[in-house]
Structure 1
Amino acid sequence: MTQTPVEDSETSGVSRRGFLASAGVVSSYVAAGVAGFAGGALTVNAAQASTPEKEAQLRAQQQSATIPFYGEYQAGIMTPLQAYGTYAAFTLKPGITVDQARSMMQLLTDDAARLAKGKPTLPDGEPYLATEPARLTSTFGFGPGFFSKLGLQGAMPSGFGELRAFSIDQLQPEFSGGDLVIHVGADNPLTVAHAARQLSRTAHTFAEPLWSQTGFNRPQYGVPSDQTGRNLFGQVDGTINPRTTQEFDAQVWATSGPQWFRDGTCLVVRRIQMDFEGWDKLDDTKKETAMGRNLHNGAPLTGTKEFDAPDLAAKHDNGMPVIASFAHVRRAKTDNPAEKFLRRPLNYEDGLLPSGQPNAGLIFAAYMANVQKQFVPVQQRLADLDLMNTWTTPIGSAVFALPSGCQPGGYIGEGLLG
């Protein structure tokens, strides 16, 4: 049943809120004759070169740019990656009913639609912070507890449920689980902070905050558009992603299952803590061997450009594989279309640990139609033998089912909540 978004309190007469250690392995492998390509500087050709004036103009345009909220799919999934983002998870308050969950999603939809256009929510104590949308998107999803607490278990998509812990996981409850997730992305950190605050305030009427994770990527202006961003280990991160409509249809969007989930997707959020002290002890060749890619441009060790396909059969003259059996590229790569998905990672940096090392790493976000068939097999291979596990530790994990988009007059999740 399609619901009309809540009207402004001035016109409706209703209060809106009232409606409410393996480095030695690398060394021995390199010593046996395996080495990466020689490093080189990333260059920008003349056509891509940017002047301060052009960059200033691009920044101004980007701060006023908008991404439509309404549509067949939720924004923030196929949207080109923004520079900043926040994931916030909540648990439903005891006794919340389907009717109340519907009210929550109607209000959140109304908030998000306004913010996407550069307009404040109702109410908004700092309305001027809403005037620079900067490609703002707000995306919503439901965790397994959302379905069980509302008696909607029968509506859960195939392959969706609590994600089991893997052998490499050291999961912390402050970064794991959740009944509701809100993802906010934009090219302005102030925009992200303001939108996240407004949406969280609405959600808090119905749900308790569980965790919040904020991260960043390289801004898109003034840089080569054909190179993927880097993580805090200096590696190009997110090379293998769907890029065409056909690939998104095959890997990301649900085409079967419950009707409410059609054109929706699933989200896996994994918080990956990085060991910078250990990583910094490696030279570039050892780092490249562990990853299976060149640091200077992200090309596989068997190629020259980032998007070259890795040749896993290639061998050195001594018979050893160019891309090692433990290299991340080999462990993650698959020719099975049923095991491919979209990655939208964010880097995080939360000060220093007591050891003096950075409390930093990666917020790994992956989108797919079926978690068990697409994500789990790849993650299991990584847990079994990926040498990058030496310097990375998953400390948070959560999974959510994301409904399709909605049209004006509707709300996110209306097919599920009625």
Structure 2
Amino acid sequence: MLDRVVPTISSLLNARAAGHSLPAGLYIRDDVFEADLDVFFRKHWICIGLECDVSEAGDATVIDIGASSLILLRDDDGVVRVFHNVCRHRGSRILDGGPTIVSKLVCPYHQWTYELTGELAYAPHMGANFDKECRSLKAVNFRSISGLIYVCLSDNPPDDIDELERVMNERLAPYDIRNTKIAYEKDVVEEGNWKLTLENNRECYHCSANHPELCVSFVDLDFGYDPDSLSPEDKAQADEHLALYAERTRRWEEEGHPSAAVEQLIDCVTNFRTQRLIISGAGESQTYDATAASSKLLGTMTRKDLGDTHLWGHNSWKHFMGDHAVVSIVIPLSAGRTLVRTKWLVHKDAVEGVDYDLQKLTDVWIATTDQDSDLVSRSHAGVMDPAYIPGPYSPFSETYLEKFATWYVDRMHAHGY
């Protein structure tokens, strides 16, 4: 029997047809997964958390990305720092996963001890000639963009994150994300490839049939539709909504609230999109009745009718509203498993049960994330089937999937695949 020829990663990338989903191997193969980790989670900027994850001096938390483990902490002077979770002695992990409180970073193996600034303070039995100065913890390249922590594990991080920083510092200033707190956090492990998770998030073709809770406040028409498929009544409603959108965006911008879409999605390194979206129904927040879940608004916000400032990148999506924010971070675990970590933020002084109702705050996105997890697992099971053939994207409802697939292939080629 002849040996079956296994396509190279390059040939899989080259086989991707414009307007279609990716070949199965790009979703399910372990070698592709390792390449994805190297290219998109080590050499590109990724969001790993928030300043409010470490709100007080001595707060620290560990985030694992593939084989890399990172310590996000706040030092005694209130400065946020990110270090590799690797002792400079023989490489032991210093902290275990998750949040903790520390006065110093002490390696449990041989008690090498580091200040929260990263400097090596104590290394027993190393002799009088041992030089501590060159044994500080290895710092990680990071940017705090209005309180959102982005890191790049490469020694040569892409510089086009400057545009993301410029745009979002202005847009997020009124929300003052640095002065929020995490009211709730939930991890969901999806049984699917990270790219399927991202693809699912970048279209709302599936929303009306799968997300009844979200669709109370979220308008699926905002992400495309085929006008010829609508009834005259639905077409008139869609036209009315588009006119309202244009008028609302114009008025918001005139009032000093940047709202128009800004996209850096193809022919770039750092991938992002932001826009101020209309909230449907009561128009205040992404809750089960579209009214605010917290009476204490974020930052300097004084209005509940300023919509949803959304932001997505290649490993996160975020929604910022007057009363709260929702931040979801994607961390690949294997070719077929992906962690989605979601955090709900409120004003740092908001009191549960007094200023906000936790169930109302979280119900919609807990339900939506669970529903999406099921959809992603179905998609992954499908692309593993020998009958799978890449299918066509909707030219109306899945244009952002086409852009993501194009960007993905281009970036893989740029790194030699």
- Structure 1 and Structure 2 fold alike (TM over 0.5): no
| Structure with more relative contact order (C-alpha pairs < 8 Å, separation 6 or more) | 1
TM score, norm. by length of structure 2: 0.29
Higher strand share: 2
